[in-house]
Amino acid sequence: MSWVEQAREWADRLHPAGLLYSTYEQRLLAELDRDRLPRHVAVLADGNRRWARLNAPGQPYEVGYQAGADKLKQFVEWCDEVGLGVVTLWVLSTENLARNSDDVGPLLGVIERLFLDLAATGRWRVKLVGDPTLLPEDMTDALRAAEFDTASVEGLKVNVAIAYGGRHELRDAVRKLLATQAANGASLGEVAQNLEIEDIASHLYTAGDPDPDLIIRTSGEQRLSGFLMWQSAHSEFYFCEALWPDFRRVDFLRALRSYATRERRYGR
């Protein structure tokens, strides 16, 4: 967090309403059951464009994208503070790439800076989750280099879902699986006969990570939009009315509190 962002945060906290929220935050934090926290939290950071229309009328959507990116950095900090193991941030869908190029270009710039800023802290292992072939080559090179630089970092793992689509991921997983089996000399019939659930899971973008225990979506939308379709089979969901740039730490703590009170049935 930059000194400007820190100054704004402290100014908000010193305001009477800010002091009230700060006290409430501390109470929520103290009451969290640390033994019932999720291992992996995923977030659909929705509402950046609507936030821009409401808070910066007449300005380009990039204002909202940047506000959303700043909030994502804070969100990762919050996840680290409570000791989570994995966080997945969905910042760009395959459908988003079909938008007007005047909109997509600035969005890609914000996303690249976000990824590089997260990696530059040296505190987290940052990974690209999605289809890099859909991104500009120079952007992919920069993301892969940052990913490589953090590969040995211990602690919180941050998946950044860029050019991600759930169906896209399943298609790619099956393609990789078939290619691997073919390279090992297996026939299509043998693959079909011996295929197991774990075989597909091991070829997903998030292979090796635990499935998300909790998925948060903001802006009042109550749908997954194809996010982590395979991995979310037994996830718990938390929907928040706030537009993403307005999502507060207290909202995050409420989501964790809600999760901690649930009885997970895993489909039973």
Which residues are catalytic, by number? 46, 96
Q: What's at 200, amino acid-wise?
A: I
Ordered DSSP codes for 230-253: TTTTT-EEEE--S-GGG--HHHHH
Backbone phi, psi, residue 234, to 5° = -120, 20
> Going by C-beta distance under 8 Å and a sequence separation of 6 or more, which residues neighbour residue 25?
249, 250, 253
The values of phi and psi at residue 143, to 5°, are: -65, -45
Structure tokens at 248: 């507060």
Nearest to 65 by CA among 207, 56, 85: 56
Judge contact between 102 and 135, C-beta under 8 A: no
User: What is the 8-class DSSP label of residue 42?
Assistant: E
Give the span between the Cα atoms of 213 and 39, in whole angstroms: 7
Given phi > 0 = left and psi -120 to 50 = alpha, else beta, which region is 186? beta
Cα distance between residue 170 and residue 29, in whole Å: 37
Contact 142, 112 (CB under 8 A): yes
Tokens found for residue 257: 């509190």
